[in-house]
Structure 1
Amino acid sequence: MNGRLTIVGLGPGPKDWVTPAAADAVADADYILGYSPYVNRLTPRAGQVFEASDNREELARARRALELAACGGRVAVVSGGDPGVFAMAAAVYEAVEDNPASADGIDIRVEPGVTAMLAAAARIGAPLGHDFCAISLSDNLKSWATIEKRLRLAAEADFVIALYNPASKARPEQIGKAFDILLEVLPGETLVVFARAVGRLDEEIDVVTLATAGDATCDMRTLVLIGSRATRKVISGDGRSWVYTPRSERK
């Protein structure tokens, strides 16, 4: 008898940001698979089997999950944030495309989670109040030329841009290259938000301009939001400030 495979989003980190449906899927699973830092956020119940693996083993992890479910297991594959945003949901369906029979009879479902750009936006105000897009700066699965093209076109279209995977030890220079590309299109006073470890004890959020953004530091735990030409700060009478993008292009 075939089992069930649930692809679960654990949100950015805080337990309060895990949906009840995602928590139920994890609690009900016989097997929990995922990238080690995400699996380590969970406490196994009696009888559960945890299988943690490296962050570049997504396809192998997806195939293993399908194998376990095909044998009747209740399997949860966990991702941080939302599993459908640069995460494991796409890897599972890629594995199914490679071997359609591997999904036969398996109940496959995706439980959404709070993704990093939504968490960061909520912390700073409403920067995603109008049209926006998300781009990963990781060139592990696509060329840097593709990333450059998408950055330039998104800036020309005046989207608010959420940058995922902005920098790592292997490619610390790419975020600076991204800012250089954006500065070819956008004015230097464009607002940029650096949101690191949102919702955690070491959370840091900084608002700078695109002209000075190259002086900031970020890592893989940082989500970078690039404002559109309409994005602005709004300041209350008592001096508090937020970043938002008006709903109307005429405002």
Structure 2
Amino acid sequence: MSTLYVVSAGPGDSELVSPKSLAAIEASSDLVAYGLYLQLLGDVCNDKTHHDLPLGEEINRARLALDLAASGKTTALISSGDIGIYAMATLVFELLDQQLNGQENKPEWLDVEIEVIPGISAMQAAASRVGALLGHDFCTISLSDLLTPWQTIEKRLHACGQGDFVVSFYNPKSKTRDWQMGAARDILLQYRPGTTPVVLGRQLTRADEQITLTTLQAFSVDDVDMFTLVSVGNSESRHIVNGDKEWVYTPRGYKKKL
């Protein structure tokens, strides 16, 4: 039986790619990915057949990976971060679901053995850079309305505010979507103080990484692009300073036990 490995490449630092992900890539003859991910992985991708499809070709990437595996080639479909979080894993299973419901004509896909390998997502990388922002209940929200209507996103933003969740925003801004992050900030300001800590992590764990600490009130959308992960604390998150060191953490309630 052929195998499709659905592989997480982590946020960018080669040392944060799990041994299991590396083993899956090494076991594969064919690698399907956006080209940048293969570049970041480096030598482990040598002597493999690369199938580099550009951004916007996610459906075709998933189809190709399933086709290659169904043809008998051990294949790795690779995505940055955790491939199960706003990434390619869901497309693989959506296509399999469509095949099972008669919407595809690819019965050979159902004979493919699939293994999903988790990884470190951008929100975890950002939190680790500043301390322990995700120390209590949190959620993630994608601000891209290309696949999800803004009305649904807006409802989730209000639910996040009402629930006082720490929140990490994926897809905060692009050349054609420049207002959603500001709208999200304004909604959260209805529920938590303007002094709430905000972490901006750009190109996390990569050579040109930039970490910025600010507050919800002072946060400028001009400081954000598609390479930025935006994490907003809850009403209890703390920004603490010790000389030239700064940390952000979200307490769990241990204070009354200390």
Shorter-chain TM range is over 0.9
Alignment of 1:19-98 (within 5 A): 19-42=18-41, 43=43, 44-46=45-47, 48-98=48-98
Residues 194 and 216 in structure 2, CA contact (< 8 A), matched pair in contact too: yes
SS at match of 1:169: coil
Secondary structure in structure 2 of the residue aligned to 1:104: helix
Q: What residue number does 1:13 align with?
A: 12
- Conservation of the 8 A alpha-carbon contact between 1:179 and 1:214: no
Residues 181 and 221 of structure 2 are in contact (CA less than 8 Å); yes or no, is this contact kept in structure 1?
no
**Most deviating of 34-43 and 207-216:** 34-43
Equivalent residues, number: 248
Give yes or no for contact 2:4–2:77 (8 Å, CA) kept in 1: yes
Give the conservation status (yes or no) of the 8 Å contact 1:230–1:249. no
Higher helix share: 2
Query: Residues 44-93 of structure 1, C-alpha deviation per residue, up to 9 Å, x if partnerless?
Result: 433x2111112222222111111111111100000000000000111110
Instruction: Identify which range, 114-123 or 51-60, moves more after superposition.
Output: 51-60
Q: Are 1:206 and 2:205 matched, yes or no?
A: no
CA distance in 1, matches of 2:254, 2:142: 26
Residue 136 (structure 2) aligns with? 130
CA displacement at 1:250 relative to structure 2: 6.9
What is the rounded CA distance, in whole Å, between the counterparts of 2:222 and 2:147 in structure 1? Answer: 26
Q: Give the match for residue 143 of structure 1.
A: 149
Supply the AA of the counterpart residue of 1:81.
G
Q: Distance in 2 between matches of 1:149 and 1:126?
A: 27
SS in 1 for 2:223: coil
Number of the residue aligned with 2:171 = 165
Amino acid at match of 2:53: S
In structure 2, stretches of 5+ residues that fail to align are: 101-106
Q: TM-score normalised to the size of structure 1?
A: 0.93
Q: Partner amino acid for 1:244?
A: Y
Shift of 1:102: 4.3
Q: Identity across aligned pairs (percent)? A: 42
Alpha-carbon separation, structure 2, partners of 1:152 and 1:170: 24
Q: What is aligned with 2:104?
A: none
1:241 maps to amino acid: E
User: Contact between 2:237 and 2:249, CA under 8 Å: does it hold in 1?
Assistant: yes
- Farther off after superposition, 206-215 or 22-31: 206-215
- TM-score, structure 2 normalization: 0.91
Asked if 2 retains the 8 angstrom alpha-carbon contact of 1:130 and 1:248, the reply is no
**Letter of the 1:27 counterpart:** E
Matches within 5 A, 1:158-237: 158-214=164-220, 216-236=222-242
Opposite residue 6 of structure 2, the aligned amino acid is I
